[in-house]
A and B are shown apart, each in its own frame.
Chain A
Amino acid sequence: MQTRFPNRLLPYLLLAPSVLVVVVFFVIPAVQSIQLSLYRVSALGDRRIFVGLQNFTRLFADPDYLNSIVVTGWFSLIVVFAGLAFSLLVAVVANQRLRGFAFYRTLLIWPYAISPSIAGLIWALMLEPSFGMASHLLTSLTGITFNWRTSADHALIFIAIAATWKMLGYNIIFFLAGLRGLPTELLEAAEVDGAGSWRRFWRISFPLLSPTTFFLFIMNTLYAFFEGFGLVHITTSGGPGRATDLLVFKLYRDGFIGLNTGYASAQSVLLLIMVAVLTTLQFRYAGSKVFYQ
């Protein structure tokens, strides 16, 4: 317990700037999102008409929105599961006190500085159908002609690869940190008892690693849901067709190109529910420890 200073007013003054920003730009707008989601803009665009839950019933009957759910679902699935599985595999295999480990780590963290949109541009280049290095390689290895500009599946795979690549180093570094924090006595005891390394991993390391895995799961899920926007906006614009029309991209189209504010706000509310569930889980299981994001 820290020593407390006896001042009455000072703590409020110290907190005032943060609280002001949070209330004005976070809490009130979030509440207004809920409010707005119950209205629609009149045909002339001059009035707001109360429509109850109509925006929500319309959303779930809107094939475009259902498509966005599916697209975001696949995208997140690849980014989170493929990304974490690959990172964990690398971390487990590399979990040695290697000479030069610090050097690898400094290079692995580089994509942390790169924005999702730039990751998108760089992978658009790698997978450029006519000459890209990765699409060349893919064609010569498998015979598949990769074209994210025209193929819906390829486009989704392309944005998922770009997004996963950006998070890879970050995930690996956290997994390595987690693995190094495991109690060695337990693992050595298990080895002495003749438990094979496969068993030791699944019975001991993996369960003990679950706080790290859980933290990365939440981080990557939030990332997949919210940070894919710039990547899609600058490369595919949601296409071809609606193949990469992520939920946030659809929200942007409806709210800021279609100027359909009520309809967009209903989408905000659904995203809010999603984030609320995820962050509540995070705080319940991980507590309020600080993690770098």
Chain B
Amino acid sequence: MSQPAISHGERMPARHNRSPRWSWDSFRKRVFAPGVSHAVMIITVLLTLIPLIYAVLLATQVPEQYYQFPPRILPGSSLLDNSRYAWDIIHMDRLLLNTTIISLVVAIGKIFLSILAGFAFVYFEFPGKGWVFILILLTHMLPVPVRIVPTFELLDQMGWVDTYAGLTIPFLASATGTLLFRQLYQTIPPSLADAARMDGAGPMRFLWSIVMPLSRTNIAALFLVEFIYMWNQYLWPLIIANSDATRVVQIGLKQLVATDAAVDWHYLMAGTVISTLPPLIVLIVLQHSLLEGMSLYEEKS
């Protein structure tokens, strides 16, 4: 399988003397180019992973180990102690519980609302359709900072400060999700809906027993994206949830960053690693759905 040689373009500008017999060309294609590609990929992967590995390493050490010179690259034996300390001092059980609850509620809620919306846009004709569509797309244009003061005041009046409702409900609409399911439903063969109607099945029945099972990959991909998105929220939880009962883990970690004294990096990294595990596990388990979605993109571009 010959791949066009744009790959190594950067390194070798125009070669004019291309003799057919000499093996440089085939050497280049068979050995050199793949070799360079592998090398580049490995370097990039290392660049991606080394900071993560270093964070885990620090979480296993004590200050005498990470301050020593030359640096110690072997793990220490304090991972459990460090984790327990970080866990207790910032009450990670509560932080992780809160963050898990809001991430699950938002991910599942967004999936549910976007399926209903996508279904409505594809399988019904109704006055005002275009306007409603634009309205939902508007969410793309309105990230938290552009409406933060009035949204906070509204939730304050509603008594939603320091509540799960305040942390989750404002996030439930999803332009991405609605577009995703709308796009999928447009590709479902019309004969399926025809058959359903012929059999006397109503739209909700059709949605539940035909459309939902076909949405599985998209549901998984959207769950992945939205769970991680919500887990990693910072600005909104910072202003809306500042009590011990509702604080999320991203904000809680800041308590491990000492304000004036030197940072206890081993505790901080233990907390950091623990708080990164849930979204990372979701990513690893579901990433095939995301990559499938990306290859969908690949076909369309």
Contacts and interface: CB of A to CB of B under 8 A. Distances in A.
A30 interface: yes
Contacts of B169: 21, 25
A269 B150 CA distance: 12
Interface stretch (A59-67, A109-117, A152-160): A109-117
Contact of B52 (A106, A110, A234, A283): A110
Given A178-B301, A181-B301, A275-B142, A118 B45 contact: no
B10 A108 contact: no
Nearest to B228: A113
A252 B235 contact: yes
A198 B15 CA distance: 10
A94 B3 CA distance: 11
Contacts of A256: 152, 239
Contacts of B275: 118
B116 A18 contact: yes
B102 interface: no
B41 A19 contact: no
A109 B287 contact: yes
Most-contacted residue by chain B among A96, A133, A226 (CB, 10 A): A96
B96 interface: no
- Bin chain B's interface residue count: 35 or more
Contacts of B263: 128
Interface in A1-28: 1-5, 7-8, 10-12, 14-15, 17-19, 21-28
A105 B291 contact: yes
B4 interface: yes
B145 A248 contact: yes
Interface SS majority for chain A: helix
B27 interface: no
B133 to A, nearest CB: 9
Contact of A123 (B5, B51, B145, B183): B51
B16 A292 contact: no
Given A198-B13, A230-B235, A29 B154 contact: yes
Contact of B265 (A90, A128, A201, A279): A128
A94 to B, nearest CB: 5
Interface string B168-204: 0110111010111001011010100110010000111
- Which of B123, B169, B197 has most A Cβ within 10 Å? B123
Given A15-B116, A233-B254, A94 B40 contact: yes
Contact of B276 (A8, A113, A133, A201): A113
Interface string A210-228: 0110000000001000100
Chain A interface category by residue count: 35 or more
Nearest to A229: B235
A89 B51 contact: no
B299 interface: yes
Contact of A27 (B66, B135, B143, B298): B135
Contact of A30 (B69, B123, B142, B250): B142
A90 B291 CA distance: 19
B37 A272 contact: no
Contact of B235 (A98, A125, A248): A248
6 contacts: A8-B126, A15-B132, A18-B117, A30-B146, A95-B37, A108-B44
Interface of B: 1, 3-16, 18, 33-34, 36-38, 40-42, 44-45, 47-52, 54-55, 58, 66-67, 69, 71, 113-114, 116-117, 119-120, 122-126, 129, 132, 135-154, 169-170, 172-174, 176, 178-180, 183, 185-186, 188, 190, 193-194, 197, 202-204, 206, 221, 225, 228, 231-232, 234-235, 238-239, 250, 253-254, 257, 263, 265, 268-269, 272, 275-276, 279-280, 282-284, 287, 290-291, 293-295, 297-301
